[in-house]
Structure formats: structure tokens, C-alpha cells
Amino acid sequence: MARTVLELHLRVRGEDDKDHYANKRLKLAGDLMEDLFRVAFSLLLKDLKYQLERSFARKKDLRIASAIRPDLLTQRLVHALATGNWVGGRSGVSQVLDRTSHMSAISHLRRVTSPLTRTQPHFEARDLHPTQWGRLCPNETPEGQNCGLVKNYALSVDVSEGTDEEEVGILLRDLNTREIGPEVFEEAKAPKGRRAARVYLNGNLLGLHSNPVGLVREIRERRRSGTLSPTLGDKTYEVNVRYDEEMNEVIVHCDSGRLRRPLIVVQNGASKIAHSDREEIARGSLTFSDLIRQGKVEWIDAEEEEDSLIAIEPFDAPARCPHCERALSRTDLVYPADAAASDRGLRSCRFCQGEIPTTPRLTTKHTHLEIEPNLILGVATGLIPFPENNAAARNTLGAAMAKQALGVESVNYRRRPDTRGHLLHYPQAPLLRTETMRYVHFTERPAGQNFVVAVLSYEGYNMQDALVFSKGAIDRGLGRSSFFRTYRGEERKYPGGQEDRFEIPRPDVAGARVDTAYRNLAE
């Protein structure tokens, strides 16, 4: 830390970007509950010590069962979960899950909240950061003072759980990382190109290495083959490494809370996912976990991404098919069944099945390839058809409206004791569907209906945002929904023989309604 400050003062090193996601860590529900339990349990131990000392001072029998007050632990946990007020002065940590619709519940579970105060501008924190690409949705954020401070996961993001730092440290020492000793001063006097690189593990200086490029290459090869360390198991794939050539530093991260995203590995200008792999994926015999274990797909965090060159698409598609002259997008090109033709860059038109030559984008300098460009979006934004043709503000509005569309919130809604709930009587699958809808099974749990809409002047009846509906469509159930609310009551007995009972009141009871108000109730 002291060296970094001195290098910054001498202008050898630039300022760190506090909004860079390599410098940020997420606290998940388990981490937050751990903080809460640690504080509550320490208070319980202090109270237990006080009770035992008081009993000893009064010369009473020491009994642990009577000295422990379990309500101290329970009330602290329940109060924090009920109010959202957490340790450290944070508020709004726990929230009631939004079950307006199935999509709103999924979106709420994937929400990321910044601890920054909402009353301050925080322009840099609210703006989109380049390292947010593929990790957080660029459009799904609320309007108003929470704009940019409340974000949502992208579709393919993963949060690291953390790996044993000691095991990774042993691995780095086995790979000839030497500890810092008196020779470090001699290293500092050496020419810049001959100095040993400093190796950092989770921000702590571990040692020096004379071949940083070889060290990084060795770690990546072992990670992709799953042989990084026999004791780490699946945690092997959570280790990320990068060589900062400018500062001559090897940065290794294996801690928890890092946002990572999957990318296809590119080697010698070609994707490691071959034609045979695509056929196995289509048959269902090859899973995503298999691709990770085979080293063809790997998880990359924001730090390692700084040392990567990522291609968005593997080839350039022509604007129109030369055979049927229909406009083409990348999804309209189909990989041919012949592996040799696929390797030569030939694709087939989805409409006329004609062969189309494509121009490859991958070069020998590329290190990775995007799995799918639309994975940069979140769940709600992914429901918008053709979002690239909309203004950014309209996509943000569309994501908010998609979460408010009513549907079937849960299949067991009749048995759920939710405080409130909505049910659309006739939900319909959308006519135009996106890939994200297939990922989240939106057509199986749809929200909203397909309205037939006309934009007319209609003699001024539709001023501004007014709507004119067909009465026949309303009578047939257009947009009809039910609202459920759960009420709570208790039957109590009082002195003198009076008691509460749940029943239909007699007509002479004060406050009783007409008979038609109770016609749907049993006796």
C-alpha cells in the first residue's frame, strides 16, 4: 500500500478507478446474514458473561440454561429482517419480494443495490462503466434518485464464492514465486526490463517472479484443464489472473464477490468450440459444465478481462442473402451440417437454405469470443423485441413496464398466504418472441395480452394518453384480473363468557351487511 501511494505521488502509477468492477465486491445474502449473526452472537456472549458474573457475585448456582437469553439473538435477527436496518448503519438491505408477476420476482432476486446515498449526485457511480458489459444490465435501472445505483444482473453473470487463499498461495510458490527478502532492493536497482514482477494475491504482496508471462500462461492452462490444484476441485475455475505489463505486476484473485461472465476461449484465431461440439450441444449430450471442464469456456472477471481481446461475433454476415435477397441478421445464418464447410466460413440462409460465404472476424490476437451478444442484457430488458432500434430511455421504461405486466405469479397461488397478489384471467403468449423469453420460459408463464391497437384521432377522445376501449372486448374479459389480499384475525375469549367467532352475522348484529354480501361464504 505504501509503495502504491509513493508511485502515485511520483506519477509512476495512475489513480485507481473506484467504479471499475475489478475494485468492487458484492455481498450476497449469505455474507450479509453472516455479518448480522456475528454481531448478534457477540451480544449474546457478552450478556451471558454478564449473567454468569452476576450469579457468581451473588453466590448463586451457575446454570448456563438460565443465564442464556436466546431472545437477544432471535430478536436481533428478526428485527433486522423485518425492518431492513442492518449492522453498519445500512438500511433497506432486506425487502419484501415483489410478486406482482413471475418476471418481477425473478428480476427482484437478481437486483444489485449500491450503498451510496441517494441524495448526492454521484455522477460517476451512476454512469455506465465499460466493465459493466456482460455483468450488469445497461438498461434495467429505476428512474429517479435510484437511477444507476440500483442495477440488475445480466443473464449469464456469476458471483465468485471464494477459494482457499492458502492453497492458491502454495500453488504460486510451487510455480517459482519467491518470497520477498533483502534481494528485493537489488531487484529495484536493475533495469526496468529485467526486474522481477511483483505477484499479488487478493491485493496482498506474495512475492516476486522472474517470468511473469510464463506464470500467467501456466495458471491459465492449468485452470482450463482443471489441474490447477488437486485440493481445490471445482473452485479451480474461480481463480483469475492477469499480468499488468505497464506496472510489471501479476494480479491473482480468488476471493468472493467478484462478478464474472463466461466467454469462449479462442486459440490461434479459432474458437475452441468445434463443429462436433455444437452438434453434441444440440443433441443435449454436452452441457455447459462440460465445456467449462474441457477448457473451451471459462469464467472471466473484470480484472482478467483487462488483459483480453474479445470478439463480439465470429464472422461478418452480409446484409442480404445473395440467393433470395432477403434481409439477414446473424441469427438468420445456420451452421451447415458439413464440418469442412463450417470451418471454411460457409453458412446457410434460414429462408432459402442457400450457401452464404462469411468473413471471419477472429484473429490470432483474439483471446475470447462472446457466447451470445444479447447476454449483456438483464431478464426484463431481454423481453423487449429489437431493443437496438429503441432509444436507451425507452428500453429502461420498457424493462420497468415488463415487470409490472400481470400474469400468473405462481402456480400455487390458491394456497399461498401472500399479503397481496394479482392474477390475470387470460394471459397470452406474445406473438413476437425473443431468445431471452426462451431462456426464462416466459411463454410457459406469460404476462399480459395481445391487444389489437389502432392509432386514430377519433374526434379528440384520445387526447394525450387517453385510451378508448371496445366495450365488447371488455365484456369478453380483455385485461380482466383478480386481486388477492390476505386478512388476519383471531378468535379470542373474554371474561364474562364472551368470545369471538368466525361466522355469518345475524341481521340484528350492528354492522351486518345485506345478505348478498355473504352469498359466497359457507356457514
- From the list 47, 108, 35, the residue with the least C-alpha distance to 77 is 35
Q: Please state, as a whole number, how many other Cβ atoms lie within 10 Å of the Cβ of residue 338.
A: 12
User: Between 417 and 381, whose confidence is greater?
Assistant: 381
C-alpha grid cell, residue 310:
474479445
Cα angle: 110, vertex 114, 117; to 5 degrees? 145
Q: What is the pLDDT of residue 153?
A: 96
Residue 306 belongs to some domain of the structure: no
1 and 90 share one domain: yes
- From the list 266, 267, 242, 268, the residue with the least C-alpha distance to 254 is 242
At 279, the amino acid letter reads: E
3 and 89 share one domain: yes
pLDDT category at 306 given cuts 50, 70, 90 is: very high
* Percentage of the residues of the chain whose pLDDT score is greater than 90: 52
Q: What is the pLDDT of residue 192?
A: 65
In the chain, the largest separation of any two C-alpha atoms, in whole Å, equals 101
- Whether 414 shows a pLDDT value over 90: the answer reads no
Name which of 63-72, 94-103, 123-132, 243-252 the model is least confident about: 63-72
Is there a catalytic annotation at residue 465?
yes
How far apart, in whole angstroms, are the C-alpha atoms of residue 382 and residue 374?
Answer: 7
pLDDT category at 328 given cuts 50, 70, 90 is: confident
Q: Give the residue numbers spanning the domain of 350.
A: 317-354
Spell out the residues 6+ positions from residue 422 whose beta carbon is closer than 8 angstroms to its own. Answer: 100, 101, 406, 409, 481, 482, 483, 484
- Whether 523 shows a pLDDT value over 70: the answer reads no
Asked if 139 and 395 count as a contact pair (C-beta separation under 8 A), the reply is yes
CATH code, 193: 3.90.1070.20
How far apart, in whole angstroms, are the C-alpha atoms of residue 43 and residue 500?
Answer: 41
C-alpha grid cell, residue 284:
443435449
Residue 34 belongs to some domain of the structure: yes
Q: What is the pLDDT of residue 422?
A: 92
Asked if 131 and 121 count as a contact pair (C-beta separation under 8 A), the reply is no
How far apart, in whole angstroms, are the C-alpha atoms of residue 171 and residue 206?
Answer: 12
pLDDT category at 58 given cuts 50, 70, 90 is: confident
Asked if 204 and 180 count as a contact pair (C-beta separation under 8 A), the reply is no
Spell out the residues 6+ positions from residue 446 whose beta carbon is closer than 8 angstroms to its own. Answer: 407, 427, 428, 429, 430
- Whether 413 shows a pLDDT value over 90: the answer reads no
Q: What is the pLDDT of residue 46?
A: 92
Choosing from 59, 94, 129, the residue where a domain stops is 94
Name which of 7-11, 362-366, 387-391 the model is least confident about: 7-11
Spell out the residues 6+ positions from residue 275 whose beta carbon is closer than 8 angstroms to its own. Answer: 335, 339, 342, 343
Q: What is the pLDDT of residue 186?
A: 64
Residue 98, SS3 per DSSP = coil
Q: What is the pLDDT of residue 187?
A: 63
pLDDT category at 14 given cuts 50, 70, 90 is: confident
How far apart, in whole angstroms, are the C-alpha atoms of residue 240 and residue 211?
Answer: 18
How far apart, in whole angstroms, are the C-alpha atoms of residue 99 and residue 483?
Answer: 12
- Whether 188 shows a pLDDT value over 60: the answer reads no
Task: State mean pLDDT over 323-341.
Answer: 79
Q: Where are the alpha helices (DSSP H) in 58-159?
A: 64-67, 70-83, 102-109, 123-126
Choosing from 332, 354, 376, the residue where a domain stops is 354
Helix (H) or strand (E) holding 227: none
7 and 89 share one domain: yes
Task: State mean pLDDT over 413-432.
Answer: 90
- Whether 127 shows a pLDDT value over 90: the answer reads yes
Looking at the structure of the chain, the number of domains it has is 3
C-alpha grid cell, residue 475:
365484456
pLDDT category at 411 given cuts 50, 70, 90 is: confident
Q: What is the pLDDT of residue 291?
A: 94
Choosing from 253, 274, 298, the residue where a domain stops is 253
Name which of 122-136, 198-212, 408-422 the model is least confident about: 408-422
- From the list 78, 62, 61, 59, the residue with the least C-alpha distance to 70 is 78
Asked if 280 and 340 count as a contact pair (C-beta separation under 8 A), the reply is no
Please provide residue 87's backbone torsions phi and psi, each rounded to the nearest 5 degrees: -65, 150
Of 16, 35, 301, 465, catalytic: 465
How far apart, in whole angstroms, are the C-alpha atoms of residue 141 and residue 523?
Answer: 50
Q: What is the pLDDT of residue 479?
A: 92
The segment with the largest mean pLDDT, out of 3-12, 42-51, 187-196, is 42-51
What mean pLDDT is reported for the chain? 89
Task: State mean pLDDT over 140-163.
Answer: 94
Q: What is the pLDDT of residue 417?
A: 84
Looking up cell 473451451 gives 296
Task: State mean pLDDT over 25-36.
Answer: 93
List own/partner pairs for 250-253 with CB under 8 A and 24 or more apart. Answer: 250/197, 250/198, 250/199, 250/200, 250/209, 250/212, 250/215, 250/216, 251/200, 251/303, 252/168, 252/172, 252/199, 252/200, 252/201, 252/202, 252/206, 252/219, 253/201, 253/202, 253/301, 253/303
- Whether 245 shows a pLDDT value over 60: the answer reads yes
Residue 236 belongs to some domain of the structure: yes
- In this structure, the chain runs to a length of 523
Please provide residue 333's backbone torsions phi and psi, each rounded to the nearest 5 degrees: -100, 125
Phi-psi region of 310 (alpha: psi -120 to 50; beta: other; left: phi over 0): beta
Q: What is the pLDDT of residue 390?
A: 93
- Whether 61 shows a pLDDT value over 60: the answer reads yes
pLDDT category at 181 given cuts 50, 70, 90 is: confident
Q: What is the pLDDT of residue 185?
A: 59
User: In this structure, what DSSP letter does residue 19 have?
Assistant: T
Q: What is the pLDDT of residue 221?
A: 94
Predicted TM-score of the model (pTM): 0.86
Q: What is the pLDDT of residue 450?
A: 93
Residue 66 belongs to some domain of the structure: yes
Q: What is the pLDDT of residue 75?
A: 92
Helix (H) or strand (E) holding 303: helix 302-305
Spell out the residues 6+ positions from residue 63 whose beta carbon is closer than 8 angstroms to its own. Answer: 55
C-alpha grid cell, residue 406:
400481470
